Amino acid sequence: MEGQESSCSSATPERSSNTPEPVRSSTSKHRKSPKRRREEKRSQCHHQDDQEHLLLPDGEQIRLPGQHEHSEPSGSSTAEMAETSPKRRAHFLHGPYPATHFGPKACILPNPTSVMHIQDPASQRLTWNKPPVNVLVIRKIRDESLVEPFKELCHFLVEEKGMLVFVERRVVADVSLTTDETFATIRKQLCTFREGYDDISHCIDLIICLGGDGTLLYASSLFQGSVPPVMAFHLGSLGFLTPFKFESYKTEVAKVFEGNAAITLRSRLKVKVVKDMLQRTGQPGQQQYQGSGGQGQVLNEVVVDRGPSSYLSNVDLYLDGRLITSVQGDGVIVSTPTGSTAYAAAAGASMIHPNVPAIMVTPICPHSLSFRPIVVPAGVELMITLSPDARNTCWVSFDGRKRQEISHGDCIKITTSCYPVPSICCHDLVYDWFESLAQCLHWNVRKKQARLADDNCLEEKGGGL
């Protein structure tokens, strides 16, 4: 047993400082073979690479087992490391890796043939860990034309599919639904919630939207973390983000329940408003520092404008802590690729496919002839503050909601969120986008130019130049 223990301890690569070194004979002190030296060097390189790449999104390093918290190089080694080692970045240009689990039961179908760390967006498919049960139905309010489609969908989900349907309380309180005796049985089985009071983010498996693009934006606002898959039916006025037709809703919903549906991961912006003001206390002549802020997820854009003021807005734009430029005009739009076809497109920005990792910065009526919209990497952090020379405050809104005033000392921090909105595709992510460009925005629609007649035809008709 003693021989076995000494052989095991000698084979262990790391030894405790309290364990005595076994006595070796002079004949055992041989030089290591070249193969052994190469293996040890390779293992040391891999260990160093692991320590360099195990970083959290905020730039914090994960401490590995056996790595001391207060161990620091001393003497000349510190100076050598300061000269040779590159400076670590707190943010990365490629953006955070998006979450692959959507709600409690949905996730991306893994692709075993993929050799890339980041899966090809064209191969992203929806699958279910468990059969979906809870379905959230969002209906456009104040639209009487959607009452019948809403009742048909609820009847199909409850009676035929055995689903538990969640709806807003104000939707069920509609007079057209409360007075309908044929819908009374279904209405009693619906689960209701109130926005801002009831948290349903951890119990919804699938979201079905009936209406226009606003229903998808509203669904995004309900889930500040992981978002369940969203299936949007075009029953509104524009419908750029709603590819499905309601006429075939039974077939389309059944396909989604079976899984393997194509999805588009629509990136969102993580926005944080930091209030940094000196507010007076109850006692005169004394002031105290108070810091507060709110954080949220934005699907389309963050808009900073001059509000009701008659002066130009004057805000400073920072990128990863560096001042890039000052925006003087009506304001600035920071949008996702999904939002590039909304307010940003009306302000003159380019339209970006949702799968392109980027953030678009678009000025609103800038007082400059050379201020064009720009596209920055998805991983940077943008910060917008009121310029010290600004004559008035500015206002900020998030997807057109929760508008608030920004004063001197406040700042808005914007970066790409790791919680995208998994939007289910009708056909595929490329065809659906170009179909929406053509049908909703009439992109590049014009009367085509007629071709010229051939020279032979001109000679037969006796024509010429």
Do residues 319 and 376 make contact, with C-beta atoms less than 8 angstroms apart?
yes
Catalytic site residue 410?
no
Separation between Cα atoms, residue 337 and residue 310, nearest integer Å = 31
**CB-based contacts of 35: which residues, under 8 Å, 6+ apart?**
none
Q: Tell me the one-letter amino acid at 357.
A: P
Residue pointed to by tokens 């005009």:
329
Separation between Cα atoms, residue 433 and residue 246, nearest integer Å = 19
Do residues 358 and 352 make contact, with C-beta atoms less than 8 angstroms apart?
yes
Write the burial class of residue 398 (CB in 10 Å: 0-12 exposed, 13-18 middle, 19+ buried): buried
Give me the DSSP letters along 49-102: HHHHH-B-TTSPBPPPTT--SS----THHHHHHHHHSPPPPSS-TT-PPPP-EE
SS3 60: coil
**How many alpha carbons fall within 13 Å on the CB side of residue 142?**
1
Record the tokens describing residue 220, joined without a space: 């995004």
Q: Which helix (H) or strand (E) holds 177?
A: helix 175-178
Give me the DSSP letters along 276-315: EEEEE-SSTT-EEEEEEEEEEEESSEEEEE-TT-SSPEEE
Catalytic residue among 49, 120, 213, 316: 213
Positions marked catalytic: 213
